[in-house]
Chain A
Amino acid sequence: MKFPLARPALALAITLTLASCGGGGKATFPINVMVSGLQYPGLVLSTNGQDLTIDPPATPGAIVTAVFPNQLEYGQTYEVVPKGATVVNHAATGGAQPKHQNCSSTLFPPYGTAGQLAKIDIRFVCSILAYPLTGKVVGLTGTGLVLANGSTAATVGVDPNLDANKNPQDVPLAMNAVPYNTTYGVTVLTQPTGQTCTVTGGANGTGGGTMDDAAEPDGVNNLVVTCVTSS
């Protein structure tokens, strides 16, 4: 009772000591993002209620680095996905993707708990979308027809489809998919036995064109390869 303030003073001292320990020293974790292969605008990444718009780099081909505006505290979980994507078992589909491209984070997991790793480092890789180049082959009776899209991708062989009366039926044709903004020109590499085939359709009417905005998202599906008996 001699020192009535001793106990409160001690309590105050402890409080001050604790405060100095905790104050300012609390670890927080920035969410770092690296995006490669980005060419077109539209990518918005999202996690923990934050959005981060990623614009294409000023220098084509450069890697874009960005950081989410708010840092996470130790123990907070995160999962970075294109904004609005459907996520099933950490696999994101759809969401705010760039135009003509698809970005995914398959190399390193884009999810985790802050503090699990020394640094949160999210990597997204973007690729150009490819669209179908399809149509039909009409009048094909001979074997050995091979079609090419120039030197791009593999050649495509087509076999005839004859009905019970040996009459040719239309055969579906699927060339290799063509990436956005690249040209295509379908040619007959090998004519079928006893027949001559010509290519029509595509954007220019003769089996050629560019996989441009007009061809999105369904691709070019009007190729017609017409085969007639050689004279």
Chain B
Amino acid sequence: MKSSILRAGVIALACALGLSACGGGSGDLYLAGAVVGVTEDGLVLQNNGGDDTAVVAPYTSFQFGNRVSTDDQFNITVRKKPDNAEACVVNNGKARANYYTIGQISVTCSIKQHALTVNIQGLKGSGLVIVNGADRHDVPVDTTTDTTTVHMATVSEGGAYGVTVLQQPTGQNCTVSGDGITNSNGTGIMGKTEATTVIVTCKP
């Protein structure tokens, strides 16, 4: 009888110690997650309105400095987004902490998109095809105007673009010259301005 009471007491004490260790202030769970769509500095996250954490290169993950304990409420928000991001969204950022919930957090930013316009001058022959990498555009001849405008797919801010002639029109030779301001040969990095124009000149 005596030993069984002793055993129960020891177990209870061990349990109490174990629980207090788990609940203790600093916590034992790292609050972390994946980051998608970030290409530059500037993203700052907060937990419960504090513990500011900047996301740094290579911009694929974050981890808060303060650990949390099981059952602590966490609420991750975006304090500041990178300059080139349209919006940043926290997924599964609000829950009570446990091994499952802390493994489900991620932050996704969408990068600002800007128009890329190509002005084609003097096009008389059919068959001109211009590309920006995988973005292909067949350019029909428009006899009513000397300048044909082609709207390419939008380009991410800070991302590269490079317009080239994939196929020359019949009887003409077209060269990409750029607008001379943001680019000189139809290749460059998309700036923060709303539109970038590339010039293609076709000559007999």
Contact = CB atoms under 8 A, between A and B. Distances in A.
B135 A208 contact: no
A206 B129 CA distance: 13
A151 B131 contact: no
Nearest to A147: B162
A183 interface: yes
B59 to A, nearest CB: 14
Nearest to A176: B133
B84 to A, nearest CB: 14
B161 to A, nearest CB: 5
Contacts of A186: 162, 164
B131 A187 contact: no
Interface stretch (B69-77, B85-93, B101-109, B181-189): B181-189
A207 B160 contact: no
Given A149-B133, A184-B133, A184-B134, A155 B160 contact: yes
Give the interface SS of chain A, mostly helix, strand, loop or mixed.
strand
A150 B165 contact: no
A189 interface: yes
A29 to B, nearest CB: 33
Contacts of B202: none
Interface of chain B: mostly helix, strand, loop or mixed: strand
Nearest to A188: B187
B13 to A, nearest CB: 46
B163 interface: yes
B46 to A, nearest CB: 31
Given A150-B162, A151-B160, A189-B162, A183 B185 contact: no
B155 interface: yes
Point out which of A152, A178, A209 has the most chain B C-beta atoms below 10 A from its C-beta: A152
A206 B187 CA distance: 14
Nearest to A154: B160
Interface of B: 116, 131-136, 153, 155-156, 159-167, 185-190
Interface of A: 148-153, 155, 178-179, 182-189, 204, 206-210
